[in-house]
Amino acid sequence: MPGWVGIRVFMLAVDCTARFFGVVVSFYGAASYFCSCSCSCSYSYLYSLFERSRTILTWRKELPVTGWPRLPPEVRSQILRSIVYERHSLTRYALVCREWQRFIEAHKFSHVRIHDRQLRGLERRMVDRQRRLVRHIWLNIELREYTCWECDRPETEWEQEANGRIIGLAVERVFAILSGWRATGRGLTLEISVQSPSDTLHWFPAWFFGGRADVPRGICIPPCVLREQRPKPGGWGWYWFPDYGAVSRIWDQRSPLRLRQALPTVAAVTRLVMRRQSRRRFAATTLGLMLQNLPALEDLVYEPWRAWNTIDQAEFDHEYGLLMDGRCLPTSIRHISIFEDYNEFCMKQLVRSTRGASIRAQRRGRRPDTLLAIAVADATRRLERLEHLSVSFMIDALHFCTVAQPSWRWPELTTLALTSTMLHEATDTQHIWLLLRGAAATALRMPKLETMTLWNAQHGQACSFTYSRRARKLVWRAGWRLRVDLAKLLAAWNEAYALSGELEFEHHAIEAARTETHAQGMQRLRMPLGGVVDAVSWWQMATELEMDVDGVPARGRVGSSSGQ
């Protein structure tokens, strides 16, 4: 094999010389012969050069092909896949050959993560061939940094205005850039997150703002946090936790966001993702403008954070209701997942530090808004192509099912997941029966419904009721038995089932009394990933469960300030 490789390299060099210099030598030789010799000698010289080049080319074609082209396609694919997982730059590998370039560009440009300062590079440096390879754009908007003197104080009005301008300008730029992109059949995901580089450098070193690749390997507790450490109850160890000012800075609920100009229409984006990792809240008006200018949107993943008090929560619910009533959702949408997240440990500490009545009321449990449930039901039934709908903690399933008019239908809906505060051990049996019977009546207006899940997860409680058309079952998961007439329940759901045979009822007992957070409750209920909460967000929630009951990150205790 080495001998053939050497011969091949030599022949390639001869071939290039014959191709590139043959014509030049021929013309110079012909000119010299015409000047000094007869024309017959000139013609014979040109003919000899031509025969020599043709013989060399024929010899090269008869040689066996060696190296990369002779490898089986499976081996070549395995080699390329192993290369893209290296930590080194892939640019040098793309220069090997066309096949390597196509493979590496498809990997490199499929998922693009950029900051707001890099948006100009996205517009200028990417050609059409590379744009067609992009499947996911993650725009991470970086707000201004802050110091230890500011980390435990809410943002000032000047900071709120400055950060609002940063967010608004970034949204305007990305929409202006993507408006020139042509739609492809594979779809394009636009993910937007907002954070400050200082967020993880002060009170929240163990919290996450991205996926697995963004997990910090070591955590160093800053001095501003170590100064506030307190002895844990019982005298074993120390703990720290932020006060209202530090929490308010991270989970800013009042930051104004105004766009300077109208957003252009973007036809290339088919999926919009705004995960829980973005603690800052987008105004409902801004979100509505974004949705209105995404006419090809098919998938919406929106995970806002719950307000810390009942006053702000009522204001946010009113804005969301206006957003739904404004018919901002594109008619092309097929998948809607809304997950309102919250943190029990932060709520607990805020009650300790502020003793506010509205915060205490919010900690006891969010009160779902009935008008918002009406707006969601009315807006989604107008989406004729909607196939999946999941709304968690923002509305109550009882309100959604009872306010729906008899003429409302969801013709293409196949999966539905809603939360309900009625699924609680202390709830009266009659209210639970009204919920389950109303859900069966609503299922009659969803002819293609395959799965409906009603669930609830909070401190000390975890319960779910699932209807599965394919499995022909009604599954009850809870730490307590369902106290309703099962015969009436099965009769109501068999009418919605409308297939040969009858449904079966199953009770799966779980240990819900020791549930500390809603994330733990979701784990015990085995909630499906991707349908209720985004997979990356679920991984973040599961990782943050390492925090103990006092809110101390297990990976960031005081004894690990060295980065262990």
Dihedral over Cα of 488, 492, 493, 497: its sign? positive
Indicate whether 309 pLDDT > 50: yes
Amino acid at position 40, single letter: S
d(CA 472, CA 452): 12
Contact 160, 256 (CB under 8 A): yes
* Mean pLDDT in residue range 176-190: 88
From 220-229, 289-298, 530-539, the region with the lowest mean pLDDT = 220-229
In this structure, the strands spanning 461-468 and 451-458 are: antiparallel
From 99-108, 330-339, 435-444, the region with the lowest mean pLDDT = 99-108
Structural domain contains residue 31:
yes
169 or 3, greater pLDDT: 169
Q: Specify which residues 465 forms β-bridges with.
A: 454, 476
Lookup result for tokens 């097929």: 334
Residue 293 contacts by C-beta under 8 Å, 6 or more apart in sequence? 175, 263, 264, 265, 266
472 or 546, greater pLDDT: 472
> What is the model's pLDDT at position 299?
96
Percent of the chain whose pLDDT exceeds 90: 29
Question: Is residue 166 very low, low, confident or very high in pLDDT (cuts 50, 70, 90)?
Answer: confident
d(CA 304, CA 322): 16
Structural domain contains residue 33:
yes
Q: Which helix (H) or strand (E) holds 269?
A: none
Q: How many CA atoms, within 13 angstroms, populate the side-chain half-sphere of residue 378?
A: 15
Q: pTM here?
A: 0.78
> What is the model's pLDDT at position 63?
44
Contact 192, 215 (CB under 8 A): no
- Angle, helices 284-292 vs 157-178, to 10°: value is 10
d(CA 43, CA 301): 76
For 502-538, write each residue's pLDDT tens digit.
899 999 998 876 777 888 889 889 887 778 998 888 8
Structural domain contains residue 408:
no
Structural domain contains residue 7:
yes
For 393-424, write each residue's pLDDT tens digit.
999 999 999 988 889 999 999 999 999 999 99
Q: How many CA atoms, within 13 angstroms, populate the side-chain half-sphere of residue 427?
A: 22
Structure token pair of residue 416: 């539905």
Contact 200, 216 (CB under 8 A): yes
> What is the model's pLDDT at position 209?
61
Contact 420, 463 (CB under 8 A): no
Domain encompassing residue 35? 2-66
Q: Mean pLDDT across the chain, nearest whole number?
A: 76
Indicate whether 556 pLDDT > 90: no
Residue 535 contacts by C-beta under 8 Å, 6 or more apart in sequence? 529
Indicate whether 561 pLDDT > 70: no
Structural domain contains residue 528:
no
> What is the model's pLDDT at position 220?
52
> What is the model's pLDDT at position 248?
73
Structural domain contains residue 299:
no
> What is the model's pLDDT at position 520?
86
Lookup result for tokens 């290296």: 86
- The DSSP result for 401-420, as a single string, is HHHS-TT---TT--EEEEE-
Contact 505, 476 (CB under 8 A): yes
* Mean pLDDT in residue range 2-10: 43
Q: What angle do CA 208, 209, 212 make, to 5 degrees?
A: 70
Indicate whether 312 pLDDT > 50: yes
In this structure, the strands spanning 461-468 and 415-419 are: unpaired
Percent of the chain whose pLDDT exceeds 70: 69
Q: How many domains does the chain fold into?
A: 1
CA distance readout (Å), 270 to 68, 169, 180, 333, 382: 38, 22, 15, 9, 19
Structural domain contains residue 39:
yes
Contact 254, 360 (CB under 8 A): no
Indicate whether 134 pLDDT > 50: yes
Structure token pair of residue 4: 């053939």
Indicate whether 87 pLDDT > 70: no
Q: Is 332 left (phi over 0), alpha (psi -120 to 50) or beta?
A: alpha
SS3 562: coil
Indicate whether 354 pLDDT > 80: no
State in Å, rounded, how far the first CA of the chain is from the last one. 51
d(CA 404, CA 379): 11
Q: Which helix (H) or strand (E) holds 454?
A: strand 451-458
SS3 237: coil
91 or 363, greater pLDDT: 91
d(CA 297, CA 50): 62
> What is the model's pLDDT at position 148?
76
Structure token pair of residue 261: 């100009």
Structural domain contains residue 43:
yes
Indicate whether 18 pLDDT > 70: no
d(CA 435, CA 416): 15
Question: Is residue 189 very low, low, confident or very high in pLDDT (cuts 50, 70, 90)?
Answer: very high
Contact 81, 107 (CB under 8 A): no
